[in-house]
Amino acid sequence: MDIPKLQIGTLTAEVPIVQGGMGVKVSLASLAAAVANEGGIGTIASVGIGDIRTTREDYDGISSEAIAEEIRKAQSATSGPIAVNVMSVLSNAETLIRTCVREGIKMIVVGAGLPLKLPAMVEDTSVNLVPIVSSGRAATLILRTWEKRYGRTAQAVILEGPLAGGHLGFSEEELAHAEDFALERLLPEVLEALKPFEDAFGVKIPVIAAGGIYTGQDIARMLSLGASGVQMATRFVCTRECGVSDAFKQAYLDASEDDIVIIKSPVGIPGRAVRNRFLERLDRGEPIPINCPYKCLSTCKIYDSRYCIAHALLNAYDGDMENGLVFAGQNVSRVHEILTVKELMNRLLDELRAA
């Protein structure tokens, strides 16, 4: 089988694999550039990228400087495609997006909420806009709004199913019946929802399937169902190029199926994580000190929360598992080794060819 390229507006990836954005420093330049050098699309995550531990007068400015620096690092390490992931619930989303465009990023991926105003933040139409959705309804709502208000459409849509890591676009009740929302079920619905916009704009809007994609066979299945590519995140954590602490990677290597839990995030939506000492402390009702010098997420009700999620994720990045939250996808229990990005990509592509 010839491996199909992934075309997203003005951007071409030689292989149809996108490394998903992983917030609070899990996916930065070194990982994203390594993926782009292997023909995929590497994604730098912007959430929690600045120094979020100390009180800062200029949180916006510091975060923007940090994302600009990561973009420059990635661009000097690869000429392949690099995207930036921004959560729409970030209080500084617009500043980050404008910085990315200024730094020459050609693909902005926005999840965690409906990015209804995204085109207004990106005047340059050579920048490809890619919303993350979890249903055909959400895709229709976003694209109808973009068409009416801005006369624009998306250059691709990422469909994230219920097996993904991190914050999820499903309620706890829906996650209890995850099979009802399997990618195999959602994909036809999203492909159908995009048709009127493809017709109206005379373009193809590729769908990238995400959540629980683990092998080349999984990729082949998604392509056969009409996806143009896949987004994978969990598998990229246990690579040499991912900059998280060894303890973070070890939590992935040690995780069994029973260790994978759905948490109620302070952001107000469910998230998938690996059970660890921090989650046990929360289960025991131990008080966790909270200090929020700025409001990094517009939806966060910090003083009704048990902990600050940005700090907890940063602690895990640093390896402090007493105070750290480890986000991961449902397939984390299948991760048993640390590879280079090249080894992982070669393995996936061999499996995809064989499938």
Ligand X SMILES: Cc1cc2nc3c(=O)[nH]c(=O)nc-3n(C[C@H](O)[C@H](O)[C@H](O)COP(=O)(O)O)c2cc1C
Task: List all residues 6 or more positions away from 52 whose beta carbon is below 8 Å from its beta carbon.
Answer: 59, 296, 310, 311, 314
Binding of ligand X by 162 (CB under 6 A) = no
Binder among 233, 255, 279, 335 for ligand X (CB under 6 A)? 233
Q: Footprint of ligand X on residues 276-305 (CB under 6 A)?
A: none
Smallest separation, CB 80 to ligand X (Å): 18
Q: Footprint of ligand X on residues 131-150 (CB under 6 A)?
A: 132
Smallest separation, CB 148 to ligand X (Å): 25
Number of residues near ligand X (by CB under 6 A) = 29
Q: How far apart are CA 168 and CA 262, in angstroms?
A: 9
Segment interacting with ligand X (CB under 6 A) among 32-40, 162-170, 177-185, 303-311: 162-170
Binding of ligand X by 47 (CB under 6 A) = yes
Segment interacting with ligand X (CB under 6 A) among 59-67, 121-129, 148-156, 323-331: 323-331
Task: List all residues 6 or more positions away from 284 whose beta carbon is below 8 Å from its beta carbon.
Answer: none
Task: List all residues 6 or more positions away from 101 whose beta carbon is below 8 Å from its beta carbon.
Answer: 108, 122, 124, 127
Q: How far apart are CA 234 and CA 85, in angstroms?
A: 16
Q: How far apart are CA 8 and CA 29, in angstroms?
A: 21
CB 139 within 8 A of CB 119: no
Binder among 211, 216, 266, 324 for ligand X (CB under 6 A)? 211
Binder among 64, 78, 128, 234 for ligand X (CB under 6 A)? 234
What strands lie across the sheet with 42-45, from one edge to the other? 17-19, 229-232, 207-210, 157-160, 128-133, 107-111, 82-87, 42-45
Residues near ligand X (CB under 6 A) are: 20-23, 26, 45, 47, 85, 87, 111-112, 132, 160, 163-166, 210-213, 231-234, 327-329, 331
